[in-house]
Amino acid sequence: MDDPTAGGAVPAPDSPSDDEAAASLRALVEHAAADLAARDARTEALARYKPARRIVVVKTAESLEPAGRAWRLGVLLLGTDGRVFETGRITRAVTPTRSQHLSAQVEQRKAERRAAVRGHFAEGEVVNYGYEPVDLSTGALQGGEQRLLVRDGRALVRWGTAAGEVRDLAAYLADRAELL
């Protein structure tokens, strides 16, 4: 007779299901957003990249357009509206100095800062862009393809790039929120 629990395929009856873990994950995110808002924790700007374009004879420069505010919690951005994003690129709105013909990477970072200034962000403001939304549906969380996931009835966050670099979401959010 085959044992359905062999290899740990089926969680123990008293452990929460992935559906319950997904609901718990969504509640954790809502609670974290409410807690951070109540504490008036420091937020950072969210932006969308707007590429340079040519309209007849007029050329517009690339810029970063404001798209909201979020709390940066390590590998996650928690929007003030409760949406969750995977952290993308980060820059600071600083009017860059003249080009010094340094490495291409340095010049690219200067261009990103310049784009943030063109987006009318305050001088020195941290701007997050190139972020990806996190799907909080149970199916997506079970798939394990994004930073937030549920596994064996537990809400987890993937904080590194390796498969085993996961951590309990409640502890992760508490640690990161404490830093703000």
Contact 41, 178 (CB under 8 A): no
State whether residue 161 is helix, strand or coil. coil
Closest C-alpha to 171, from 161, 158, 156: 156
pLDDT higher than 80, residue 30: yes
Task: Give the C-alpha separation, 176 to 123, whole Å.
Answer: 26
Rounded to an integer, the average pLDDT of 5-15 is 43
Residues in the chain: 180
For 142-171, the pLDDT digits (tens) are 988 899 999 888 999 998 877 778 999 999
For 70-82, the pLDDT digits (tens) are 999 999 999 999 9
Task: Give the C-alpha separation, 144 to 128, whole Å.
Answer: 24
Residue 76 phi, psi (nearest 5): -120, 150
Contact 153, 21 (CB under 8 A): yes
CA distances from 28 to 10, 55, 87, 109, 129 (A): 25, 46, 18, 35, 24
Whole-structure pTM value: 0.78
Domain segments of the chain: what residues?
16-178
